[in-house]
Chains A and B, each alone.
Chain A
Amino acid sequence: MRCMEESDDAIRRAVLSGDKDAYRVLVARYGQVVFRVAYRITGNETDAEEAVQETFLRGYQRLKTFEGRSSMATWIYRIAANCALDIVGRRKPEMGIGEENDPEKREVQLADSKAGPDRMLLSREIEAAQQAAMEGLTPVERTAFTLRHMEDCSTEEIAAALNIAPNAAKQAVFRAVKKLRQQLAPLWVNP
């Protein structure tokens, strides 16, 4: 049984030396974080669970390519963001045409979404508007905004996670903020 305090690099070397089970420590160490990021990007538990599994599968397959230029946590974080983004991208085409912009449908979707304790405190109207606004973002915009606004990532980290240029990452955040504000603006007419 491997010690949980063992360094990430030591575990990486052990895995690459043939000790597959050493990877369990990394999964246990970063599983919660990866789930949180995946959930915030995908917006639902099922997709988040799938993203977590895919993240650790990809991470294992690419372990040889990890060069240690960033921390293992950052590296896994990037993979998680990518996996979640891929899942969101795959999910989009499955939606019916017009469904995404249909307020009635959107309302139904939001009613089905799982509600956390914090969200219960928000008014249903604001919550629905926020969710609707988030749904209106492209996957890249949504991921960039989530990483920026909720995960407090820097532009460089977002760019690395999405494998895009820093300026493109910054523009994605700007576009997301603009769209969100436009969607949320009607709420302030009668706050």
Chain B
Amino acid sequence: MMRDNAPISHVVDALDVETYLVCDSKEEGSRLGIQLLKDLGFKDVDAVYVGWSNGGARVRLRANIHRPGDTYAWLPEAE
């Protein structure tokens, strides 16, 4: 069904990374999270959720692989 077997081509829309970052503020958590995704090679990135407390941030980071209207790698070839 898939166009190729690279795992990334099976991602429908976005890759979420959830982790806990040691940082001094919510803003720093957000900045670090976004930089983390960029360091991993993703370009269209955002911090969907950042909750900070006691020296660390619970983060949900998102790398958009396909936004609506893109050419989707997961779409099968025409039959």
- To the question of whether A and B form a pair in one complex, the answer is no
Interface set of B (CB-CB < 8 Å, partner A): none
